[in-house]
C-alpha cells in the first residue's frame, strides 16, 4: 500500500481518516509532521460527515502521543507490574493459563470484551478466533451494560439480532426520542455523523422532535417538545401509546401488513395500559400521552427511537419491544422517514425469500444465578457473583480485551474485590486502569493511528450506505491487534507461546473464502479457490479479509464479474469515502424468523411482559429519589479521561439535582453530599439544576480514577467518582440480561 496521500507542504502531510472514538464515524483530516500529529480537523470532503467533528475527535493526536499509553508488555513480578519482552509475556500467559486449566478446567476462564473492540476493524475481526479458542462459555461484553435489549428484540421480532431499526433522521417528519441525548453522544445504535446538524435540519422540512427524558438534556433543549418521564417507566408509557393506537383505531401497518403476526396478541397485552393508569407511574398526563400517539400516527413519516436511558433499566427489553411495535403499528417500519435498516457495503444483502432459523436464547445458563445466555453472553451484572462464589466453575482466570469492568459494570466495589482475588488475569489494553491494575500480564496493542481502518461495525448501522477505507497514518513494526489476539488464541488452543500468528491469519482468510465458495447464494459460489485467494494476496491479513467482504458485498466487484464494483483497490482512490445513498426498503426479505413473519408478540417478550404488568399495580414511591446517568460531549467511557483537553475546566462529575429536592434535604449547590444505594455509597458535589425532573438525580459514568496503582496521570488529577459504586448487580433486565444503570433508588444527604 502506498503511503497516505499528501496534500500539504513538504514538511507536513494530511492523512484522511475516520474518527473511531464513537459511533458517528466522522471523517477527519489529520495533519502530520514526521512522527507527530500536528492538528486534527473535520474532513469537509467526507460525503457522510461533511466536515463535522466534535471536541473528542480533535484529540486523536493527544491520544496517540499519550505518554501513559503502554507500549511494552507488563508482567507482575513480586507484586509489581514491570516491563517485559513480548516473548516473556506470552510465555507467562501460557504457563499461568495452563496452571489454571489443569487445576480447575476451562470453565474457570472468563472473557470480557470491551466497547473499543468494535471501533477497530482488527479487533472486530480477531475477537472471533479468541472466543472460539477459549473453550469456555463465560463470555461477557459491553453489550449487557448497553444495548442487549435491542439485540434480543431484533432477534425475536425479525430473526436477526444484529439488525437494528435506525431512525431515518434525514427524512423523518416526526421523531419521538426516549432516553437518548445525541447532541452529547452523537448517536448510539445509529451512525449519523453530525447528529446535531441533522436534528437542526428537521424544522426546515416541517419536522418535529419530541424528547422524553427525566432530564432536560442538551437534545431536549433543541426539541419542539420535552416531556419529563419518571426513570425506568418508558416501557409502560410506550405501552400506553400502543394502547391508544388500538383504542383510537390508529393502527395502520401498511405495506408490511401481510408479513405481520401477532397484532391481536399485542392488543390484549396493552389493554390495561390506559394513559390514565400509566400517568401516575410515568409522570406524563393521559391527554399528553394520547396526543403523542395521535401525532406519531398522523405524521407523514415518523420514527420512535429509544436508547440508553430506555434500555439500561429493569424493563429495557420491554421498552425496546414497545418501541418496535409503535414503529410497526404506525406503518413506519422499513419506510423512508420512519425506521429502516442499513445496507452495509461490506455485506451481502440476502434477497432470498423471507424466513430463516429464527433466534434462540438460553442455550446455556450461568452457574450461580442461572442467567440465560443472550447472543452467547452472560450478563455483565452477573460477573462478580461468578468470581466470588466458590465452587466448581468459579471464575478464577480472566482475559479482558479493551475493557475496564471495574468502572463500567455494576457494583464496582464488589467487582474490584473480586478482580483482586483472581488466580490469573490477562488484560489486552493500552492503560493500567482501575481494572487492569489487577492484571498479571498486560499486552498493549499499538495506537489506532498505526492500524488499517474500516468501520466494520458502525457502517453496518449507518443511515446511509457509506464506505471508506484508510491505511495506517504511521508505520509500525511491532505486533498488531490481530497478531496479539491470534497469539493468545493459539496459546488457548495449546499451540504454545511460540506459535506463529500467521497460522490464524491464513485460517481466517481461507475459511472466509471457502464459506463464500460453498454457499449457493454467494455471488462467487463455485469460483476457483486458488484464483480468489491469489486476488486477495496482501501482506496485511486485515486487508485480505476486508477486501473479501467488500468484493462479495452487495456493491462489490465480485472479483471481476461486476466491473466498477467496490474493492479495496477502488477505495484507495477515494480517501474521503464513497456515498452510496440513503437506506432502502429491505423487508420482508430481511425477515429471518422461523415463520418468515414479523413477529409482533414473540413468546419470550410476552412472558417477560408479566414483570411490567406487575409494575402497573405497584404504588409509586413519590419520595424515592432515582439515579440516572448522563453523557457529556467531551467524554465517552473511562479511557477518555486521560486526555487533558477533554477534562480541563471545572469538574463535570457532579450530582445534578432539582433545586427543590436539594432544598427539602437541606443540601446546597456546590457542597458535597453523600449518596447511597443498596450497593454502595460515595460523596460527590451537588449541582442544582431546573433541568432535572423532581425526584431524579444524575451522575455521569466512567469516573473514579483515584484507585491505587493506576497509571493514568491526567485522569488521576481529575478523578471524579465512580457511579457504578451505586448501581446494583442484583437488579437486571432479566429478559436480555442487561444491567440496570438507570432508575437506581438512592438516598442523598449532606456529607458528614
Q: Binding residues for ligand SF4, per CB under 6 A?
A: 19, 21-22, 24-26, 53-54, 56-57, 186, 193
Is 383 or 643 the residue whose CB approaches ligand SF4 more closely? Answer: 643
Distance from CA of residue 637 to its chain's centroid? 11
Is 69 or 597 the residue whose CB approaches ligand SF4 more closely? Answer: 69
**CA distance linking residue 24 with residue 194, whole number of Å:** 7
Q: Are strands 732-733 and 738-739 parallel, antiparallel or unpaired?
A: antiparallel
Q: How many CB atoms lie within 10 A of CB 500?
A: 13
Is 19 or 735 the residue whose CB approaches ligand SF4 more closely? Answer: 19
Is 26 or 430 the residue whose CB approaches ligand SF4 more closely? Answer: 26
Selection from 337, 326, 342 nearest residue 586 by Cα: 342
Burial-class residue 534 by CB neighbours within 10 Å (0-12, 13-18, 19+). Answer: exposed
Q: How far is the CB of 457 from ligand SF4 (least distance, A)?
A: 13
Is 19 or 693 the residue whose CB approaches ligand SF4 more closely? Answer: 19
C-alpha cell at 673: 453530599
Nearest-5° angle of CA 588, CA 589, CA 593?
A: 80
Is 44 or 77 the residue whose CB approaches ligand SF4 more closely? Answer: 44
Is 262 or 577 the residue whose CB approaches ligand SF4 more closely? Answer: 577
What are the φ and ψ backbone dihedral angles of 480, each rounded to 5 degrees? -100, 170
C-alpha cell at 669: 449547590
Q: How far is the CB of 393 from ligand SF4 (least distance, A)?
A: 40
Q: Are 316 and 271 contacting, i.e. CB atoms less than 8 angstroms apart?
A: no
Q: How far is the CB of 149 from ligand SF4 (least distance, A)?
A: 23
**CA distance linking residue 620 with residue 280, whole number of Å:** 8
**CA distance linking residue 26 with residue 455, whole number of Å:** 11
C-alpha cell at 723: 457511579
Is 57 or 372 the residue whose CB approaches ligand SF4 more closely? Answer: 57
Q: How far is the CB of 57 from ligand SF4 (least distance, A)?
A: 2
Q: How far is the CB of 432 from ligand SF4 (least distance, A)?
A: 24
Q: How far is the CB of 25 from ligand SF4 (least distance, A)?
A: 6
> Is it true that the peptide bond before 588 is cis, omega within 30 degrees of 0?
yes
Q: How far is the CB of 570 from ligand SF4 (least distance, A)?
A: 24
Q: How far is the CB of 670 from ligand SF4 (least distance, A)?
A: 30
* Whole-number CA gyration radius for the chain: 25
Is 59 or 150 the residue whose CB approaches ligand SF4 more closely? Answer: 59
Burial-class residue 288 by CB neighbours within 10 Å (0-12, 13-18, 19+). Answer: middle
Is 24 or 209 the residue whose CB approaches ligand SF4 more closely? Answer: 24
The DSSP secondary-structure symbol of 445 reads: P
Is 219 or 274 the residue whose CB approaches ligand SF4 more closely? Answer: 219
Q: How far is the CB of 174 from ligand SF4 (least distance, A)?
A: 25
Q: How far is the CB of 27 from ligand SF4 (least distance, A)?
A: 9
**CA distance linking residue 562 with residue 727, whole number of Å:** 53
Q: How far is the CB of 273 from ligand SF4 (least distance, A)?
A: 37
Residue nearest to ligand SF4 (CB): 57
What are the φ and ψ backbone dihedral angles of 596, each rounded to 5 degrees? 75, 15
Q: Are 113 and 140 contacting, i.e. CB atoms less than 8 angstroms apart?
A: yes
- The three state secondary structure string of 397-444 is EEEEECCCHHHHCCCHHHHHHHHCCCCEEEEECCCCCCCHHHCCEEEC
Amino acid at each position: 500500500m502506498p503511503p497516505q496521500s499528501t496534500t500539504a507542504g513538504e514538511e507536513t502531510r494530511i492523512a484522511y481518516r475516520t474518527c473511531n472514538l464513537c459511533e458517528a464515524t466522522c471523517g477527519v483530516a489529520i495533519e502530520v509532521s514526521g512522527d507527530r500529529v500536528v492538528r486534527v480537523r473535520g474532513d469537509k470532503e467526507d460525503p457522510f460527515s461533511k466536515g463535522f467533528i466534535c471536541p473528542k475527535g480533535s484529540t486523536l493526536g493527544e491520544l496517540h502521543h499519550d505518554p501513559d499509553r503502554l507500549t511494552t508488555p507488563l508482567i507482575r513480578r513480586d507484586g509489581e507490574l514491570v516491563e517485559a519482552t513480548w516473548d516473556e509475556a506470552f510465555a507467562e500467559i501460557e504457563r499461568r493459563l495452563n496452571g489454571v486449566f489443569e487445576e480447575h478446567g476451562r470453565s474457570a476462564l472468563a472473557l470480557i470484551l470491551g466497547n473499543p473492540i468494535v471501533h477497530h476493524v482488527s479487533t472486530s475481526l480477531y475477537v472471533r478466533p479468541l472466543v472460539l479458542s477459549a473453550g469456555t462459555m463465560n463470555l461477557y461484553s459491553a453489550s449487557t451494560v448497553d444495548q442487549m435489549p435491542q439485540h434480543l428484540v431484533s432477534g425475536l421480532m425479525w430473526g436477526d439480532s444484529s439488525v437494528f431499526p435506525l431512525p431515518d433522521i434525514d427524512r423523518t417528519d416526526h421523531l419521538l426520542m426516549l432516553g437518548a441525548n445525541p447532541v452529547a453522544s452523537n448517536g448510539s445504535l445509529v451512525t449519523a455523523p453530525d447528529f446535531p446538524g441533522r436534528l437542526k435540519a428537521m424544522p426546515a422540512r416541517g419536522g418535529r422532535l419530541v424528547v422524553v427524558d427525566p432530564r432536560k438534556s442538551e437534545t431536549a433543549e433543541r426539541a419542539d417538545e420535552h416531556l419529563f418521564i419518571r426513570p425506568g417507566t418508558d416501557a409502560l408509557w410506550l405501552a400506553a401509546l400502543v394502547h391508544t393506537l388500538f383504542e383510537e383505531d390508529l393502527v395502520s401497518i401498511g405495506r408490511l401488513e401481510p408479513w405481520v403476526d401477532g397484532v391481536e396478541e399485542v392488543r390484549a397485552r396493552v389493554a390495561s395500559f390506559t394513559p390514565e393508569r400509566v400517568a401516575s407511574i410515568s409522570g406524563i398526563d393521559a391527554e399528553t400521552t394520547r396526543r403523542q400517539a395521535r401525532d406519531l400516527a398522523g405524521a407523514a413519516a415518523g420514527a420512535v427511537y429509544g436508547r440508553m436511558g430506555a434500555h439500561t433499566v429493569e424493563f429495557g427489553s420491554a421498552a425496546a419491544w414497545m418501541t418496535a411495535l409503535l414503529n410497526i403499528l404506525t406503518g413506519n417500519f422499513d419506510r423512508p422517514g420512519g425506521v429502516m435498516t442499513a445496507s452495509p457495503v461490506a455485506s451481502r444483502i440476502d434477497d432470498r425469500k423471507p424466513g430463516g432459523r429464527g433466534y434462540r436464547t438460553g442455550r446455556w445458563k450461568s452457574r450461580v444465578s442461572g442467567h440465560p445466555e443472550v447472543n452467547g453472553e452472560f450478563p455483565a451484572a452477573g460477573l462478580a457473583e461468578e468470581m466470588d462464589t466458590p465452587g466448581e466453575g468459579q471464575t478464577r482466570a480472566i482475559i479482558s480485551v479493551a475493557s475496564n469492568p471495574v468502572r463500567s459494570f455494576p457494583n464496582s466495589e464488589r467487582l474490584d474485590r473480586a478482580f483482586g482475588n483472581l488466580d490469573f488475569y490477562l488484560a489486552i489494553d493500552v492503560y493500567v486502569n482501575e481494572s487492569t491494575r489487577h492484571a498479571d500480564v498486560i499486552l498493549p496493542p499499538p495506537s489506532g493511528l498505526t492500524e488499517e481502518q474500516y468501520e466494520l461495525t458502525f457502517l453496518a448501522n449507518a443511515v446511509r450506505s457509506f464506505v471508506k477505507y484508510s491505511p495506517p497514518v504511521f508505520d509500525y513494526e511491532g505486533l498488531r491487534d490481530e497478531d496479539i489476539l491470534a497469539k493468545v488464541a493459539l496459546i488457548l488452543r495449546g499451540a504454545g507461546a511460540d506459535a506463529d500468528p500467521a497460522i490464524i491469519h491464513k485460517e481466517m482468510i481461507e475459511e472466509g473464502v471457502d464459506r463464500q465458495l460453498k454457499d449457493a447464494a454467494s455471488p462467487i459460489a463455485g469460483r476457483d479457490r486458488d484464483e480468489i485467494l491469489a486476488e486477495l494476496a496482501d501482506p496485511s491479513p486485515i486487508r485480505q479479509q476486508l477486501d473479501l467482504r467488500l468484493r462479495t458485498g452487495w456493491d462489490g466487484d465480485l472479483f471481476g464479474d461486476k466491473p466498477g464494483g467496490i474493492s479495496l483497490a477502488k477505495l484507495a482512490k477515494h480517501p474521503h469515502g464513497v456515498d452510496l445513498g440513503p437506506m432502502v426498503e429491505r423487508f420482508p426479505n430481511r425477515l429471518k424468523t422461523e415463520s418468515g413473519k414479523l413477529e409482533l408478540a414473540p413468546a419470550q417478550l410476552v412472558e417477560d411482559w408479566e414483570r411490567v404488568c406487575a409494575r402497573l399495580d405497584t404504588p409509586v414511591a413519590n419520595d424515592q429519589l432515582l439515579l440516572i446517568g448522563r453523557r457529556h460531549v467531551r467524554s465517552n467511557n473511562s479511557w477518555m479521561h486521560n486526555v487533558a483537553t477533554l477534562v480541563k475546566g471545572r469538574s463535570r462529575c457532579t450530582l445534578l439535582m432539582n433545586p427543590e429536592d436539594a432544598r427539602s434535604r437541606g443540601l446546597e449547590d456546590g457542597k458535597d453530599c453523600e449518596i447511597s444505594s443498596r450497593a454502595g455509597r460515595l460523596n460527590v458535589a451537588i449541582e442544582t439544576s431546573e433541568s432535572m425532573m423532581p425526584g431524579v438525580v444524575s451522575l455521569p459514568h466512567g469516573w473514579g480514577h483515584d484507585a491505587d496503582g493506576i497509571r493514568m496521570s491526567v485522569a488521576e488529577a481529575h478523578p471524579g467518582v465512580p457511579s457504578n459504586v451505586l448501581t446494583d448487580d442484583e437488579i437486571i433486565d432479566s429478559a436480555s440480561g442487561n444491567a440496570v444503570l438507570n432508575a437506581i433508588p438512592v438516598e442523598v444527604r449532606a456529607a458528614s
